[in-house]
Every structure is written in C-alpha cells, then in structure tokens.
C-alpha cells in the first residue's frame, strides 16, 4: 500500500500516514510559471494499491487538477488500484439543477475523477447522500457523527442539551447525532433568498432553557450559523454551539463567527486550517485522521468499511 498526497491538506495526510504507520510516498506536486500543475513520482508504484489523499477545497479547481493529474501519473505508472480519498468533496452543493440552464457540477466532477483512472473513492459527509450515485465506481461515504458525538460527550453535559438542525435539509444528519446522544431535536426553518444568504423564519421545537448544539455538514460564509444562533437565543436558548464537518470558512467567515454569539464552533480537519481560523478564539478543530486511516486500512485489506458505523 502506498499513500500519496497533493497540496490541499498535507497536515491531515501526515496524520493519516502516522495512524497507518506508513510514510507518505515521495512525489513532487508543483506549479510551472504559468500555474500549470506538474506531478512527478519518485518511487516505484507498479502493482501497488495506492491511496491519494486530496480534498478539493479552496482553491477548488487547483486541488481538483492536482487530484486528476496525480491519478493520471499513477495510472501510467501501472499502479494496481487507485483510491481517491477526498475528505471534502468540492462542488457537492451543485448536485441538482435548482433553476433552468444550470449545470450539475457534482456529477461532472465525479465523471472527471472516474475517467482520470480512479478505481474507488472514499469521502466524508457528502452534502447529499445521492452524490454517491454520481460515481460509476465504488464510493464509500464516511460519517463524522461518531467523532462529533464523542467530542460532545467529552465537553458537554447532556442535561438540558438539544441538538438543532440549521435547516430542514439537514434533519437526518442532526437526528443521527441526537439519537446517539439520546437528546431532543429542534429545527431552524429558514428561507434563502439567494445563494450564500439565509434568513431565519421559525424555530421548530421548544429550545427555552436549553444548551443548543447546531449540527451541519458545511460552514461556508457562516451566515446561516450566526443567524440560527441569534434566533435560538431569542427563542430562549441559554447558549448555542455548533459542530460542522467541513469548515470551508470562506473570506470573512472566521471573523463573522468570532464576533457572533456562538459559544463555540467545532469543525473537523477535513480542510486545512487558515490563519484566520487559527486566530478565532471560538473555533476549534477535531481530528478525523483515525477515521480516514481506518477506512483506508479496511479498504486495503478488503474488510467492511460500513461496519465502522454500526
């Protein structure tokens, strides 16, 4: 088994390699003067089971091209099997045609990955579960719920604690955490006038006197979380925290979270930490390397991956 990484999240790749007690394979992934991606493998991969660790986070297009070109280099070097480990799958929010004359970019990216030569995909908390069906190759969608649940148990008392979904679409994800913890569930019903802008309308459930924990898969601009926290506090919640799998946290988001009424935002390290998030006192990260590493180990040894979540 070989582990290869691009430049999207080297810290996570190194943590996964440490968990598996394997070194990262020696490879060069760099840019020419015109910003073209160049890849060179410095060790033999012929007949090897190779795993590429590469999120397609910001800059999404550059990191996607690195993944595709790494795949092509491995395929042309006669790797036996190539598995793309993509903790954060970019373009996942473009999973349907919301209006006329728009693309389904998630399907296009899935096609690109498969056509490049990837034999299998491992990813984490896809924005929509049906995206697994966009791939014409085996795809394992891992869940961060066990890690999130464990961290909540370690840091929060469950008395008067309520899990909250920040929108109707995320109810299944939030319910999975609530069931693991044995807590009640509330829902924030919001209207989104345009992309990236959310407006809270109603709170479904009685949150009065509760310590509310918002559960979601992606935090981008942070507007949804900030608005949801304000609405929950107005409805009588005593405090509001949030656990989000993928901390996209685009420009200005970390500052918005830091200035908000959120007690704490906890994200996984599926996306590399930025200087802005490092400077935010109420943003904390939890490590998913053991989960990713165990999924890789089980895939390499042809064991069940789904049993990780039984």
Q: Binding residue per annotation — 35? A: yes
Q: Give the Cβ contact number of residue 35 at 10 Å.
A: 8
Residue 14 annotated in ligand binding: no
The vertex-116 CA angle with 106 and 308, nearest 5°, equals 65
10 annotated binding-site participant? no
Has 221 been labeled as part of a binding site? yes
The token pair at 143 is: 């869940």
Residue 6 assigned as binding residue: no
Q: Is 247 one of the annotated binding-site residues? A: no
Measured distance CA(198)–CA(210) in Å, rounded: 23
Query: Known binder of ligand: residue 224?
Result: yes
216 annotated to bind ligand: yes
Q: Is 298 annotated as a binding residue?
A: no
Contact, 210 vs 203, CB < 8 A?
Answer: no
CA angle 43, 46, 51 (to 5 degrees): 75
For the annotated catalytic residues, the residue numbers are 190
Determine whether the annotation assigns residue 220 to a binding site.
yes
DSSP label of 133: G
DSSP 221-260: SSHHHHHHHHHHHHTT-SEEEEEEEEE---TTHHHHHHTS
Asked if 217 and 173 count as a contact pair (C-beta separation under 8 A), the reply is yes
Strand order from edge to edge, sheet including 139-142: 2-5, 49-53, 81-86, 120-124, 139-142
Query: How far apart, in whole angstroms, are the C-alpha atoms of residue 280 and residue 256?
Result: 10
Per the annotation, does 80 bind a ligand? no
| Token code pair at residue 263 | 């007690």
Give the integer Cα–Cα distance in Å for 117 and 54.
15
* Known binding positions: 34-36, 93-94, 127, 167, 192, 216, 220-224
* Known binding positions for D-ribose 5-phosphate: 192, 216, 220-224
* Known binding positions for Mg(2+): 127, 167
């Amino acid at each position: 088994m070989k582990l290869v990484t691009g430049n999207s999240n080297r810290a996570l790749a190194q943590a996964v390699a440490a968990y598996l007690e394997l070194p990262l394979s020696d490879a060069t992934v760099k840019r020419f003067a015109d910003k073209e991606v160049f890849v060179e493998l410095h060790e033999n991969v012929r007949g090897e089971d190779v795993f590429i660790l590469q999120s397609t986070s910001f800059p999404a297009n550059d990191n996607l091209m690195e993944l595709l070109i790494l795949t092509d280099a491995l395929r042309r070097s006669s790797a036996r099997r190539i598995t793309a480990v993509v903790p954060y799958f970019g373009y996942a929010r473009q999973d349907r045609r919301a209006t006329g004359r728009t693309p389904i970019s998630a399907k296009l990216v899935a096609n690109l990955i498969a056509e490049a030569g990837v034999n299998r995909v491992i990813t984490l908390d896809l924005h929509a579960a049906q995206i697994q069906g966009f791939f014409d190759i085996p795809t394992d969608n891992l869940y961060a719920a066990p890690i999130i649940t464990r961290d909540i148990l370690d840091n929060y008392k469950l008395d008067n604690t309520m899990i909250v979904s920040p929108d109707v679409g995320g109810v299944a994800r939030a319910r999975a955490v609530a069931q693991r913890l044995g807590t009640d569930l509330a829902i924030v019903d919001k209207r989104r006038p345009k992309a990236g802008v959310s407006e809270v309308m109603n709170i479904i459930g009685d949150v009065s006197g509760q310590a509310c924990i918002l559960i979601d898969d992606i935090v981008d601009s942070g507007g949804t979380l900030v608005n949801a926290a304000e609405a929950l506090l107005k409805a009588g919640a005593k405090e509001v925290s949030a656990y989000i799998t993928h901390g996209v946290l685009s420009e200005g988001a970390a500052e918005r979270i830091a200035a908000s009424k959120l007690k704490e935002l906890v994200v996984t390290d599926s996306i590399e930490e930025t200087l802005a998030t490092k400077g935010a006192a109420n943003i904390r990260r939890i490590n998913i390397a053991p989960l990713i590493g165990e999924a890789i180990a089980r895939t390499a040894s042809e064991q069940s991956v789904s049993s990780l979540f039984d």
